[in-house]
Amino acid sequence: MKTVTLVDKTFGLSHPESEILAAIDKIAEEMQRDLHDKKPIFLVVLNGAYMFASDLMKRLEFTAQLQFIKLSSYTGTERSQDIKELIGLTEEVKGRTVCIVEDIVDSGATMQKLVAHIERLGADDIKVCTLLSKPNALKYPVKLDYVALEIPNDFIVGYGLDYYEYGRNLRDIYTLIP
Ligand code: IMP
Ligand code: MG
């Protein structure tokens, strides 16, 4: 198995690029069908979703806006209840179809807060699109409209996802070897 060592941990190749791209083809077709006449605004959650968004968006052939957003729910080391800051959202979302593009939904905490935040801004319809979902880790139920890949409850890196900011540039996905 191909492995990669980042800082103090070793990861084994689990999802080659070809598998990731085939999964993205599938959800892009679904989105094309559902959203082509909605003039949606896509909100790409940085940093992890950057590579996914790049491959996803070029497969969509309809009118859409795209913004990159960043959120922080931490004040120092204390996790707060609400999103403290949402950076990068400058377009009006009131009355619109909003599609959130995430790298991974793990416990669902981040996504639940983000959806609630966008709801409060008055979006008409909110779709959630994630490259990866860990169904066995979900603690805060969120409706996931488009999921490219479902994975076990393991820590992964690559294709945008990081371990201490390393590994984001890997074209394949690797899973932590315990
Ligand atoms: P949640 O709020 O628990 O759903 O966590 C979501 C965030 O945790 C993601 O946006 C990632 O930044 C990070 N995360 C969760 N699982 C992984 C993983 O396996 N590898 C890298 N980052 C992860
Ligand atoms: Mg993230």
pLDDT at 85: 81
Active-site annotation holds for 106: yes
Distant-in-sequence, close-in-space partners of 159: CB < 8 Å, separation ≥ 6: 15, 17, 20, 51, 52, 131, 170, 171, 172, 173
**Which carries the bigger pLDDT value, residue 80 or residue 164?**
164
Q: Which atom of ligand 1 is nearest to the CA of 47?
A: 12
pLDDT tens profile 30-64: 999 999 999 999 999 999 999 999 999 999 999 99
Q: Ligand 1 in contact with 156 (CB < 6 A)? A: yes
Which pLDDT value is given to residue 71? 87
Between 85 and 18, where is the model more confident?
A: 18
pLDDT of residue 106: 96
Average pLDDT, the chain: 94
Residue bearing the bigger pLDDT, 74 or 91: 91
> Beta strands of the chain (E only): which ranges?
3-6, 9-15, 41-45, 65-72, 74-75, 78-79, 85-87, 97-105, 125-133, 146-150, 156-157, 173-176
Q: How far apart are CA 55 and CA 42, in angstroms?
A: 14
Over residues 80-87, the mean pLDDT reads: 74
159 lines ligand 1 (CB under 6 A): no
Residues 6 or more apart whose CB falls under 8 angstroms from that of 18 comprise none
Tens-place pLDDT, residues 122-159: 999 999 999 999 999 999 989 999 999 999 999 999 99
